[in-house]
Structure 1
C-alpha cells in the first residue's frame, strides 16, 4: 500500500526516483499527485513539470530533461508514463529505448529532480537490471487490486485522514453499495466528512443518506428489505423506482439475479466452498458473496428455487400482458414476504 510513501511526503521527504506500477490506477494517480504537490508550487508546474509518454518518446529524451536544472525553482518533476519496457511484453514498441541510459541515471540521479516512472501493468520483469536497480534503491508502489482486509484498512485510513470515524457498519454499507471502487469510495468519504464535520462519525445511516443512489443500489436495498421481511420499506423503494420510470420487467430481472446469487452462494457454501472460491466461481465481487451468504441464512434451498420460479412466471405474465406489470411485481414482492 501507499502508506509509507505518504508518511514521507507529509514530512517533505522526497525520493529522487519513484516507481509506481500495478493496475489500481487510483492509487498510482493519487501518489503521483502528492509527489508533485510536495515537490512544486502550482506556479512552477509550467516550468518544472514534464510528462513523457514512453509509447511516443524515447527514455533518453526524458532522462535529459530530468538532468536539466529547474527554472525559477528548486525542484523538477519528470514523469515517464506507460513504461512498458519494464515488463516482459513481447510486443514491438513504437519507440526504441536505451535502457543503459536510464540505468546510468538510476545509479546517480540528480538531487533536484523527482523522476516518476509509471507502469500501469500487473507485473514487471524482475530479471531486468533497471527494475532491480530501482527496487533496491528507491521508492516503489505496487498498486494492485486490494483484497477485502486491505480495502477495509484503506477505508479506515482514509477516514482518519479526514479526521472522522468510520464505523464497521458504515464501511460494510459503503462496500455493499460501491464495491472496491477506490475513486468512488474516496470521493464519497470526502463528501460525508464535510457533512459530519471534523471529529464526526460515518455509520450506515450516514451512508444511506448521502451516497448517490443507483438502480443497482436500490435493487440491493429492496432485496435486503424483502429478506428481512420489512414489507413497508420494500414497497417504499419499489414505488420510488416506479416514480423514476424504471421498467418493471427490468426491476424484476435485477431482483431475480440477486436471488440467483443468493441461491448459488448457499449451494456452494453447502458444498464446502470458501467465500473466495465462490467469488471466483460466480465471477462476482467478494463483498457480494459476503452479503449474499448472510441473506442465504434466511432461506432454505427449496425456498430460493421457488422464488426463482415465481420470478420466471412473473416475467412471462408481464411480457404477455396478463395484467398490469406494476401490479404483478407488487403481488410478487408481497408473496416473497410471506414465503
Structure 2
C-alpha cells in the first residue's frame, strides 16, 4: 500500500517506523532526488505533497513524500478534500505518501474516512504507565524482535525499569543484545539488574507512597521526578490511572463481586491475573479515602493547565493533601 498514516505521542517508535519505511522505499544512491519531507509550517505543504507523490522517481528505487504533523485528519476544506480524493486512488505503486500526526484522527470528518479507505493507519501511542501488563508485553515483544533472550523475571524487571519509555527500552535492549551476543542462555534478572538503569516507575511509587500516607517519601519522589524532567501532567495522569484502578477494585470487592474477570473488566485491567495483587493492595484502604483522591487530582490537573509559574509547589501541596487522606484513615 503506497499510503501510510502514522499517529501517536510515542515519537521514538513512530520515527523508527518512518526510518524503516524510508529504508525499504528509497534506493540510497537516489534518495536525495526521491525523498521529500514537508514540514507543517509550509503553507502549501499538502498540495505540494500531493503533486510530488504523483511524480515518477528518478533512477532506481521508489519515491517517498512525508507530510509531517499534518492536520488533514482534523480539518480539511472541501477543495482540498476533492484534490485528496483524486490523488489517493492514483498514486503510482513505486511511490509512497506518508502522513504523520501526534493527534488522533477525527473519525467523523470526510478526510479521515477517505484516509481510512486508502491508507494503512498505525497508532504509536505511549502505553499509560499504570498498564504494567501491556508494558511487560511490549518489552517481551521488543526483545523478541531484537533477538534478545530474557527470562520471565528479567522481562518484568526491564519493564519496571524503563516503564513506557520506548526510547529507553530500545537503548537498554541494544546494550543487553551486545552483552548476550556470546551467550546462548536467556539473560536473567541479575544480569538485567546489573546493566539496566531504573528510569521510571517513580510515578507509580509515588502513588504507593500516597496510599501509605508516607508524606516524606512522597515529597522525595516528587523531587526526584522533577529532577528527571518528568512532565507534571504525566505524573498526574499516572496517579489518576492508578487511583482510579484501586477505586474500582475496592468498589467491586465491597459490593461482593468475586469474579476476577468481571472486576478486571470494570477496572479496565487487561490481565485478570493482576486482580489478585490489586485486591491485596486495596485491602486496608478505606473506600471513602479512595473516593476523595480523584477530585483532588482533577483539581491539580486543572491548576497545572490553567496557571503559569512553577508547578512544583502545586504538586507538592496536593501530594500532602492526598497523603493526609490516608494518614487520617490509618489513625481513625
TM band (smaller chain): 0.5 to 0.7
Residues 121 and 252 of structure 1: is their aligned pair in 2 closer, same or farther, counting only changes over 3 Å? Answer: closer
User: Counterpart in 2 of 1:140?
Assistant: 121
Aligned length: 247
Q: Deviations over 1:191-231 (max 9, x none)?
A: 111111274423322221111356987x97xx99xxxxxxx
TM-score computed with the length of structure 1 as normaliser? 0.58
User: Which of residues 121, 138, 146 in structure 1 aligns to 2:103?
Assistant: 121
Give 1:41 shift.
Answer: 3.4
Distance (whole Å) between structure 2 residues aligned to residue 159 and residue 253 of structure 1: 35
CA contact (8 A) 2:2 2:96 kept: yes
* Greater C-alpha Rg: 1
CA contact (8 A) 1:193 1:200 kept: no
User: Counterpart in 1 of 2:230?
Assistant: none
Q: Secondary structure at the match of 1:201?
A: coil
Give 1:33 shift.
Answer: 0.9
Distance (whole Å) between structure 1 residues aligned to residue 17 and residue 93 of structure 2: 20
User: Which of residues 191, 202, 210 in structure 2 aligns to 1:206?
Assistant: 191
Unaligned runs of 5+ in 1: 1-14, 225-248, 281-285, 303-339
Q: Deviations over 1:106-125 (max 9, x none)?
A: 01111221110112202323
CA contact (8 A) 1:83 1:118 kept: yes
User: Which of residues 178, 181, 190 in structure 2 aligns to 1:197?
Assistant: 181
Distance (whole Å) between structure 2 residues aligned to residue 279 and residue 257 of structure 1: 30
Q: Residues 52-201 of structure 1: matches in 2 within 5 Å?
A: 52-58=38-44, 59-88=46-75, 98-128=80-110, 130-146=111-127, 147-197=131-181, 199-201=184-186
Q: Deviations over 1:152-200 (max 9, x none)?
A: 3322221112222222222221222221111111211121111112744
Q: Deviations over 1:277-318 (max 9, x none)?
A: 8899xxxxx9xx99x959959x9679xxxxxxxxxxxxxxxx
Q: Compute the RMSD of aligned alpha carbons.
A: 4.3
Distance (whole Å) between structure 2 residues aligned to residue 88 and residue 206 of structure 1: 50
Give 1:252 shift.
Answer: 8.1
TM-score computed with the length of structure 2 as normaliser? 0.59
Distance (whole Å) between structure 1 residues aligned to residue 38 and residue 57 of structure 2: 17
User: Counterpart in 2 of 1:316?
Assistant: none
User: Counterpart in 2 of 1:44?
Assistant: 30
Q: Secondary structure at the match of 1:77?
A: strand
Distance (whole Å) between structure 1 residues aligned to residue 68 and residue 145 of structure 2: 28
Distance (whole Å) between structure 2 residues aligned to residue 33 and residue 206 of structure 1: 31
Q: Deviations over 1:74-133 (max 9, x none)?
A: 3111001111121159xxx9xx972322221101111221110112202323431x3223
Distance (whole Å) between structure 2 residues aligned to residue 111 and residue 300 of structure 1: 62
CA contact (8 A) 2:143 2:150 kept: yes
